[in-house]
């Protein structure tokens, strides 16, 4: 369960203070798949970063399960993220100088899970995303859709309880986006992982359990 209580966040831009979130509250259930939609600049990615512990609110609390993220120091927040959260970015953000397999192993290495089971799981995931034959390739040898499939596999390989996805299909063509979304459905549809997904596309949003309009009505 994710409990967001009275979240505020503002940024300084060109000497001006711009409020992005102002007293925002929301509750997301375990295993729920939530789509965050809204116009640009409304604070979707900011909210995602706050939930991921990559940023701190100016005010308010963020609880994930029993953990109050806002009460943790930087190190503990990072360790929490390491073990409990997976990230998928719009621009894939694979490490360009690591191979596909090495990118996939990264979260396992960080969590100490790169043992025989971990490797088997990584290999299994590679097969499930249909890229088992590209394990030794570097990311730039892959198409955008393929890179995003690897990014999704990387985000889930260490079995996080929460997956945060920031416009995962934002740079992909419709057909490729569909493949990626199907994969996301397949890997997170069993209710084991809570998903918060930021998107501009209502088609993508409708695939989630619930849609939250930031700066507007809720569907």
Partner 1 sequence: MAAGLPRSLLLRASIRYLVRHPWQLGLALLGVAIGVAVVVAVDLANQSASRAFSLSTDALTGQTTHQVVGGPQGIPEAWYVELRRDHGIRPAAPVVEGFVRLPGDDRRSLRVLGVDVFAETGVRPAVGAVSGLVDAGDLLARPGGAVMLAEDLRWLELEPGDSFTVSHGGRDHDLRVLAGLEPARELEAVGLQDVIIMDVAAAQELLGRTGHLDRVDLVLTEDQVATVDALLPPGARLAEADQRAAALEQMTDAFQLNLQAFSLLALVVGAFLIYNTMTFSVVQRRQLMGMLRATGTTRGELFRVILLEAAVIGLVGTMLGLLLGITLATVLVDLVTRTINDLYFVLSVRELSVAPESLVRGMLLGVGMTVVAALAPAREATAIPPRAALSRSHLERGRLRWLPGLSLAGLVLAALGTMLLGATERGLLAPFAGLFALIIGAAFLVPPLLWLVTRLLTPVLGALGGFIGRMTARGVAASLSRTGVAAAALMVAVSAVIGVGVMVDSFRTTFADWLDATLHADIYVSVPGGGAMEPEQRQRLEAVDGIELVTRSRFVRVGADDHDARLRVFEIPPAAEDGFSFRAGDPESAWRAYREDGAVFLTEPYAWHRELAVGDRVRLDTGEGPREFPVAAVLYDYGTSEGAVIMARATYDRYWDDPAIDSIGVFAASGVDTGALRERLQQATADGQHLQFRSSRELRELSLEIFDQTFTITQVLRILAILVAVTGVLSALLALALERAREYAVLRANGMTPRELGVLVTAQNVLVGLLSGLFAIPLGLGLAAALILVINQRSFGWSMDLAVDPWILAQAVALAVAAAVAAGLYPAWRMARTSPGQALREE
Residues interacting with partner 1, by CB under 8 A?
45-46, 49, 52, 54-56, 74-75, 78-79, 81-83, 85, 87, 89, 93, 95-98, 102, 106-107, 109-112, 114, 138-141, 154
Tell me how far, at minimum, the Cβ of 113 lies from partner 1, in Å: 11
Tell me how far, at minimum, the Cβ of 48 lies from partner 1, in Å: 8
Closer residue to partner 1 in complex, CB, 147/169: 147
Closest CA to 28 of 186, 161, 210: 210
Closer residue to partner 1 in complex, CB, 45/169: 45
User: CB 170: neighbour CB atoms within 10 A?
Assistant: 16
Closer residue to partner 1 in complex, CB, 98/132: 98
Tell me how far, at minimum, the Cβ of 101 lies from partner 1, in Å: 13
Tell me how far, at minimum, the Cβ of 59 lies from partner 1, in Å: 17
What CA–CA distances, in Å, run from 84 to 34, 53, 107, 172, 174? 17, 11, 11, 27, 31
Closer residue to partner 1 in complex, CB, 93/176: 93
Tell me how far, at minimum, the Cβ of 54 lies from partner 1, in Å: 4
Closer residue to partner 1 in complex, CB, 48/172: 48
Q: How far apart are CA 115 and CA 15, in angstroms?
A: 50
Closer residue to partner 1 in complex, CB, 163/207: 163
Tell me how far, at minimum, the Cβ of 201 lies from partner 1, in Å: 21
Give 12's contacts (C-beta < 8 A, 6+ positions apart). 18
Q: How far apart are CA 95 and CA 98, in angstroms?
A: 6
Place of tokens 């892959």: 142
Q: How far apart are CA 200 and CA 73, in angstroms?
A: 32
- Buried b / exposed e over 138-156, threshold 16 CB at 10 Å, is bbeebebbbbbbbbbbbbb
């Amino acid at each position: 369960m994710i409990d967001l209580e009275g979240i505020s966040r503002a940024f300084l831009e060109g000497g001006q203070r711009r409020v992005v979130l102002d007293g925002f509250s929301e509750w997301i259930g375990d295993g729920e798949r939530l789509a965050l939609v809204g116009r640009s600049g409304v604070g979707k990615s900011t909210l995602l970063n706050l939930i991921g512990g990559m940023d701190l609110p100016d005010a308010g609390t963020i609880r994930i399960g029993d953990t109050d993220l806002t009460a943790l120091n930087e190190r503990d927040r990072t360790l929490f993220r390491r073990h409990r959260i997976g990230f998928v970015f719009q621009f894939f953000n694979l490490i360009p100088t690591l191979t596909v397999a090495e990118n996939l192993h990264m979260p396992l290495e960080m969590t100490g899970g790169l043992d025989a089971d971990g490797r088997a799981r990584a290999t299994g995931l590679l097969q499930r995303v249909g890229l088992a034959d590209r394990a030794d390739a570097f990311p730039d040898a892959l198409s955008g859709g393929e890179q995003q499939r690897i990014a999704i596999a990387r985000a889930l390989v260490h079995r996080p309880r929460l997956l945060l996805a920031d416009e995962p299909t934002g740079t992909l063509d419709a057909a490729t986006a569909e493949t990626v979304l199907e994969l996301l459905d397949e890997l997170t549809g069993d209710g084991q992982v809570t998903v918060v997904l930021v998107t501009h596309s209502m088609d993508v949003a409708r695939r989630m359990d619930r849609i939250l309009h930031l700066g507007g009505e809720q569907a």
